[in-house]
Amino acid sequence: MLNEVRDNTLYFDGCSTVELARQYGTPLYVFSESEIVRRCSELRRCFLTVWPNTRAAYACKAFCTPAMLRLVQREGLCIDVVSGGELYTAIQAGFPAERIEFNGNNKLRAELELAVDYGIGRVILDGLQELPLLEEICAARGKRMNVLYRVTPGIQADSHDYIVTGRKDSKFGIPLDDDVLYPAVRAALDSKWVNFLGFHFHVGSQLFDNAPYLAALEVVLGLVREVRRRFGHTVAELNLGGGFGVTYTDEARPPYAYFLDPLMARLEAFCQDEGMTRPAVVIEPGRSIVAEAGLSLYTVGSIKDIRGVRKYVSVDGGMTDNIRPSLYGAVYRGLLANRAEEASTDTATICGKCCESGDILIRDARIPPARPGDLLAVFSTGAYGFSMASNYNSSPIPAVVLVKEGRSELIVRRQSYADLLATAVIPESLQ
């Protein structure tokens, strides 16, 4: 059991959260290895072993550390990176180059050079200017790279505007205008330096309905048919993206098969009708692997009860370690981990210590009457907590601990105040 209460204390993957806080301090990110492995196993069971010629590439923007990438590698997944920093992390972790794909809407020359030098498996071209830039880099090194084009299928998905990416008005992908897309495909097919494999799309994040995926696939299948008709070229690979929904509070998380089975069935039927071999299929789950595998621990500090208005319970972290509530109103569930069996008779707004009124983690949480020194646990913070953490107000980024069946290991040490100044320089003029 991932979350368990014993003797009034919350246990997470067999570890006492009170002991974790005592040993490693707070704020603290805690990740369950068992839960991560369970999600990877589900992907293998319902997708990778059922459908031949498929891959799952963990979208490591959700949570990217060397230890996490080692774990993903062990579980047989590929990875999707979106920056030079994520690629460098993968290289330092010894992640196999051929199992890395590089996404992103504005890849810098230095990032593409790093990708070509390491010999990664795929570059997903996100704009028309990326092909000539990549060709130039490949030509200088005498290397050829596999590429896909990311397209915007023009599909509206039901999610927050900040995490919807498949509509035409998006900074991501290439629009489907004939005079834009097909000349780009022709250029890739004619190139000496790239091997054009196919198309990539991503309709959005935190989705619970498979309809937008099926609608986007239908659009891309039209592209597959048209590329074959115009150029006599059979697309060899399709990347269907990720964005599968998870449980933050009371959402009913669908199994991976709910999304993947109808997508694969439609693709198989299309290929049979067209008399062609089914392309390789790649998916990019990120949040759905790590979100529920993580929780955050905080120590309660100042408590302000504004009579007739609101009670604020302040903790020793906040928007610096979880920006999502402030950024787009993400909602989380929490409890007092050291008083886990006590009745939740109080309503309080959990706020952070940053000098911002918007530094709110949970509005109107139902908890026992909090006291300074209590331990607060916030659930499902494994995705985009650590990876979006900042040093605002010169706050050190918390440590990260990996737990499994009662064992805990540090995988990212807590930043010190000295770390905050490691790159700062006082110029001679101010000496």
Q: Which residues have a catalytic role annotated?
A: 355
Q: Diameter of the chain by CA atoms?
A: 75
Tokens of 32: 């369950």
DSSP code of 258? H
**Environment class of residue 34 by beta-carbon count within 10 Å: exposed (0-12), middle (13-18) or buried (19+)?**
middle
CB contact at 8 A, 181 and 151: yes
> 68 φ, ψ to 5°?
-65, -40
Strand order in the sheet with 15-16: 3-6, 9-12, 15-16
Main-chain dihedrals φ then ψ at residue 109, nearest 5 degrees: -55, -45
Opening angle at CA 133, ends 130 and 138, nearest 5: 120
Residue 123 is given by DSSP the state E
CA 350/CA 304 separation, integer angstroms:
11
Using CA atoms, how far apart are residues 48 and 330, in angstroms rounded to an integer? 31
Exposure letters 285-310 (e unless 16+ CB within 10 A, then b): bbbbbbbbbbbbbbbbeeeeeeeeee
What is 306-327 written as a DSSP string? ETTTEEEEEES--TTT--HHHH
What does the block give as tokens for 256?
């991976």
Q: Is 354 within 8 Å of 314 (Cβ atoms)?
A: no
CA nearest to 207, candidates 273, 284, 151: 284
